[in-house]
A and B are shown apart, each in its own frame.
Chain A
Amino acid sequence: MSYEKLATIAKLLYERTESDTIKWVETEKKDVFQTSFPHSSVRIEEVQNKHNDDETDIRITVINDEGSVVEQFTDEDITDLLPKAYQKMGLTLNKARRSALGVDTALDEIIEGLTENSFLDDDLPF
Chain B
Amino acid sequence: MLEPATELITINNIGDYASIIGLFITLIGFGITIYNVKKSRSSSEQAKETVSKIQNDLRRIDTVTELTSAINLADEIKTLQRTNAWALVPEKYSKLRKHLIEIRESEKELEEKYQEFIQGAITQFSSSEKEIDVHLKNKTTPDSSKLNSLVSKHTDNLQSVLVSLKVEIGKNYEL
A binds B: yes
B119 touches A38 (CB 8 A): yes
Q: Is the CB of B123 within 8 A of A41?
A: yes
* Closest Cβ neighbor of B94 among chain A residues: A67
A60 to chain B, nearest CB (A): 14
B153-A67 in contact (CB<8A): no
- A34 on interface, CB distance cutoff 8 Å: yes
- CB pair A38–B115 under 8 Å, yes or no, is yes
- Report the nearest A residue to B108, measured CB to CB: A38
What interface size band does chain A fall in?
10 to 19
User: Which range holds the interface residue count of chain B?
Assistant: 20 to 34
Q: Is A34 a contact partner of B122 (Cβ separation < 8 A)?
A: no
Instruction: Across the interface, name the chain A residue whose C-beta is closest to B146.
Output: A28
Q: Does A46 contact B (CB under 8 A)?
A: no
Give the distance in Å from the alpha carbon of A37 to the alpha carbon of B131 in the complex. Answer: 22
User: Does B60 count as interface, using CB distance less than 8 angstroms?
Assistant: no
Q: Which of B108-165 contact A (CB under 8 A)?
A: 112, 115-117, 119-120, 122-128, 131, 143, 146-147, 150, 153
- Report A95-122 CB contacts with B as 1/0, cut-off 8 Å: 0000000000000000000000000000
Set of chain A residues within 8 Å of B104, measured between Cβ atoms: 65
Tell me the bound Cα distance from A25 to B124 in angstroms: 10
Interface status of B101 (Cβ within 8 A of chain A): yes
23 residue pairs A–B, Cβ–Cβ below 8 Å = A25-B153, A26-B150, A26-B153, A27-B150, A28-B128, A28-B131, A28-B146, A29-B127, A29-B131, A36-B116, A36-B117, A36-B119, A36-B123, A38-B112, A38-B115, A38-B116, A41-B120, A63-B123, A65-B119, A67-B97, A67-B122, A67-B127, A68-B126
Instruction: List B residues at the A interface (Cβ < 8 Å).
Output: 97, 101, 104, 112, 115-117, 119-120, 122-128, 131, 143, 146-147, 150, 153
